[in-house]
Every structure is written in C-alpha cells, then in structure tokens.
Amino acid sequence: MDRRAGWRLWLPLGLMLLFLLLPFYWMVLTSLKDRTELLNTPNPWWVFHPSINSFVDLLTQTQYPRWFLNTLYVSVGATALSIVVSYCAAFAIVRLKFKGARALSTAIFFSYVVPPAILFIPLAEVLVKLGWFNHLWALIPIYATFLVPFCTWLLIGFLRSIPRELEEAALVDGASWPRIMIKVILPLSVPGLISATIFSFTLSWNEYLYALIYMFSSDNKTITVGLTTELMRGDVFQWGQLMAGSLLGTLPVVLVYFFFVEYYVAGMSGALKD
C-alpha cells in the first residue's frame, strides 16, 4: 500500500539490514580470499584477488557433499517426525479435549526448559541402552525432543483459531473423528504446519552439540560438525573453506524461507490469534 516509502523507511531499514548482513558480507569476502590476502590487505572490506578455490577445494577435497546429504536427511526426517507427532498431539489436546489434555499440554510446554548442554550425558546413556549410538537416524528422534514442544505449542495455538463450528457440522453429518482430523482440520492447518516445518527445519539444520557428541564415524558428520572438525586444524584454520561451507550450508534454508516466508508469517499469526 505504501509504495512511496521514502527515506523514513529506507534509512532505518537499511541500517538494520546492514548490521544483520555484515557478518555474511564478511563470509563472502573471506570465502573468496586466499590466505595471504586474508592476513595482508590494504582494505579488509574488499577482495582484490577473488578466487573460487575455496569452494572448489571444499567440494572436491573434503566430504562436504556427504555432510550436506547427511544434514538434509536428518533435517527432513526430524522435521517430518516432529510435525506429524506434534499435529496429532495438538489435535488431541485442542479438538478432542480428552481427560488429561490440559495437563499434557502444560507438561509439553514445560519440557522446553531443559537445557541440552547438560542433558546430553544422561541422554547418551539412554541411547546406548536403546542401541541408537552412532546411527545417523538416531538424530531424528533426538532432535524431536526440542522440536516437538515448540511445534505442539504452535499448533495448539493455531488449531484453537480454527472455528469449532466446522467440526460440529461434520459431526452432525456423521463424520468420524479420524476423518475430521484428516479431511476437515488438516487442510485448514496448512499455514500453521508450514510455520512449524520451517522452524523445525532451521533448528535441525543448525544443530551442533548432539551431532558432534553422538556420532562417531566420519560418514555420519553433518555440515556444522564436518566443517568445525575437519577445517579447524589445531591452530591453523582453513578460513576460506570454512566460510564457503557456511554459505553453501545456509543457502537451502534461505531458499526455503524466501519462498515460504509469507506462509510462515501467516501461520505464526494464526497461532498467535485468540
């Protein structure tokens, strides 16, 4: 509506974006610099001899493509699992109101306060007992522990915003609850599901601690773990490749956001409505 937004929009917005993007500009510069230029330059804010060697080396000399696929696999898996499980739980809590639903929703919310930085030792014992150690797929349920509480909470909010009349009408027509869940409410929940999906995907994509601690084989590394364990060599860091890897690793998530950002906002706003 406000197409003639003048300097009062662009000045503060520009400054904010500048601040938010600064480190990324730096990443791009660094990924294009060779080591000599990184340390000796007349102007650190520019690259005078750009080269894509870091990208080439990253893709050919390291297992980066594999780390990428691993990350994709775990992120998609953890997201899918969390969304399905959370939608079921949220539907049960909001629409079915079975006995104990309220207590359950409170409990799920509270489970969010447990800090992973210490949970990982006792959790490791559980994983060993289950025989899940050093299996890449084990990261999927592990990530669900921090995705499910948020997704369930978000979907609870979203489902509440869907008018109750809809299902009442369906019930009068003789539809069963499972049918209502899938045919009536699910299509209406799409914006909420998209928000939850994007959110879960981002958190899984960037997870570091669990992936670092619980995976032992090199074949099981994710992007964050692979980059930090193989390119930070003692006291010599492969800065160009590290930054190239960060940029390439951020790209898919940015694309996802670029296409779904509107749904994300819509879904969140649905969840926040009364």
Q: What residues numbered 63-92 form the site for another protein, per CB under 8 A?
A: 84-86, 88-89, 91-92
Give alpha helix (H) positions in the chain. Answer: 7-32, 35-39, 53-61, 64-91, 101-110, 116-130, 139-160, 165-172, 177-179, 186-188, 190-206, 209-214, 223-230, 239-272
Please identify which residue in 52, 110, 166, 183 interacts with another protein, judged by CB under 8 A.
Answer: 110
Q: Which is nearer to another protein, 19 or 60 (CB)?
A: 19
Site string for another protein, 29-68 (x = CB under 8 A): -x---xxx--xx--xxx-----------------------
Of the candidates 143, 184, 144, 159, the one whose C-alpha atom is nearest the C-alpha of residue 105 is: 159
Q: Which is nearer to another protein, 24 or 59 (CB)?
A: 24
Q: What are phi and psi of 237, to 5 degrees?
A: -100, 140
Q: Which is nearer to another protein, 55 or 205 (CB)?
A: 205
Shortest distance, position 56 Cβ to another protein, whole Å: 16
The stretch among 52-60, 165-173, 182-190 that binds another protein (CB under 8 A) is 165-173
The C-alpha angle 255, 211, 226, rounded to 5 degrees, equals 70
Question: Rg of the chain over CA atoms, in angstroms?
Answer: 23
Q: Which is nearer to another protein, 6 or 187 (CB)?
A: 6
The stretch among 52-60, 182-190, 228-236 that binds another protein (CB under 8 A) is 228-236
Binding to another protein in span 172-211, by CB under 8 A: 172-178, 181, 202, 205-206, 208-209
Burial 254-270 (b: 16+ CB within 10 A, else e): eebeeebeebbebbbeb
Q: Which is nearer to another protein, 89 or 184 (CB)?
A: 89
Binding to another protein in span 111-140, by CB under 8 A: 111-126, 128, 133, 135-137
Dist CA 145 CA 138 (whole Å): 12
Shortest distance, position 50 Cβ to another protein, whole Å: 17
Size of the site for another protein (CB under 8 A): 137
Shortest distance, position 254 Cβ to another protein, whole Å: 6
Interacting residues of 266 by C-beta distance below 8 A, sequence separation 6+: 191, 195
Q: Which is nearer to another protein, 189 or 220 (CB)?
A: 220
DSSP state of 124: H
Shortest distance, position 48 Cβ to another protein, whole Å: 14
DSSP state of 48: S
The DSSP bridge pattern shows strands 236-237 and 232-233 to be antiparallel
DSSP state of 3: T
Binding to another protein in span 139-158, by CB under 8 A: 141-142, 144-145, 148-150, 152, 157
